[in-house]
Amino acid sequence: MTQSWRFFVVRVARMTRLSPTFVRATFTGPDLDQLADNGFDQRIKLVIPLPGADIADMPMGPDWFAQWRALPDERRLPIRTYTVRAVRPAARELDVDLALHGEIGPASRWALSARPGDSVAIIGPNAEYDGEHGGLEFSRKVGTADLSSASVLLAGDETAVPAVLSIVERLPHGVSGTALLEVPHPDDALPVAAPPGLTVTWLARGERPHGELLVPAVTAAAARLAPALAGVGAGGPADLAVVDPDLDHDILWEVPGEPTGRLYGWIAGESGVVMSLRRQLLADGVFTRETAAFMGYWRRGRSES
């Protein structure tokens, strides 16, 4: 039976420094032409080698997850989630952009030291599977219409930049709205081909706390967008009741099954910042839980398991 996801054992073809914060890892492998190219915010898993433990130590059979969990700590390779930045099936290549955070985590440490020829494993969508792969949260439709008649608000910190840029590059020509990206350094503003009706704004945070620039920029942008769509499903005060305080205690991940209305929000990044924006935007009636995705990509003080 064909599975929706599969393992790909790949090599680093090249590492390209894009900016002070971002590096692009280009992978190559004999079967990367079988990695499905779904675009938008398609997630994959990167299996990272450790000193003394390489990809040969990674279980890849049907029961791989249970076997991986049972391994001793020194042989359990870290698995981290990233967004596909580009797939070139004919060349059997995959681009993944990584945000560098120094030596504080296995993925960032690997990215700083990776060299062409290094082996890693990818868990990604299988092109031979003809159903929905999963791991993709951005909706290609809003209600019964495609995105060409919608207005979108995209926002995130550096961990969401690859996903936002990938979404922007796949948006149809008629879409309008804004993308707001908070990054550590002014030189982290990366080139992106956006539709003519969508603006991309980079917010250089510097030494400020995460979200200090993003939160007011998003709330201001939402206030500008919502009046233009008054009466066509932008949001509503009845959704004040859906703010769940229990979500504070875990990573926030709230995605509508099928967005309604004409204003669609996609917001990702540090979970506390995303939670703050969720509260504000629902309280203001700009969005409902059916018109926006709120995703905590990470949480301050917590490592991805």
Q: Which residues pair with 179 in a beta bridge?
A: 154, 200
The model carries a pTM of: 0.90
Pick the residue with more confidence: 105 or 227?
105
In a domain, 10, yes or no: yes
Q: What is the mean pLDDT of the chain?
A: 87
Q: Are residues 153 and 288 in the same domain?
A: yes
Q: Are residues 66 and 193 in the same domain?
A: no
In a domain, 37, yes or no: yes
Burial 68-95 (b: 16+ CB within 10 A, else e): beeeeeeebbbbbebbbbbbeeeebbbb
Q: Are residues 146 and 117 in the same domain?
A: no
Q: Which residues pair with 197 in a beta bridge?
A: 176
Q: Name 23's Cβ contacts closer than 8 Å, sequence gap at least 6.
A: 15, 16, 17, 97, 98, 100, 111
Best CA proximity match to 234, nearest among 244, 219, 218, 223 = 223
Q: Are residues 11 and 117 in the same domain?
A: yes
CATH number of the domain where residue 99 is located: 2.40.30.10
Q: Of 185-199, 238-252, 273-287, where does the model show the most confidence?
A: 185-199
Q: Which residues pair with 265 in a beta bridge?
A: 153, 292
Domain span at 14: 5-125
Q: Are residues 145 and 119 in the same domain?
A: no
Q: Are residues 196 and 259 in the same domain?
A: yes
Query: Is the per-residue pLDDT at 250 higher than 50?
Result: yes
Q: Are residues 259 and 292 in the same domain?
A: yes
Q: Are residues 155 and 95 in the same domain?
A: no
CATH number of the domain where residue 155 is located: 3.40.50.80
Phi, psi at 212, each rounded to 5°: -65, -35
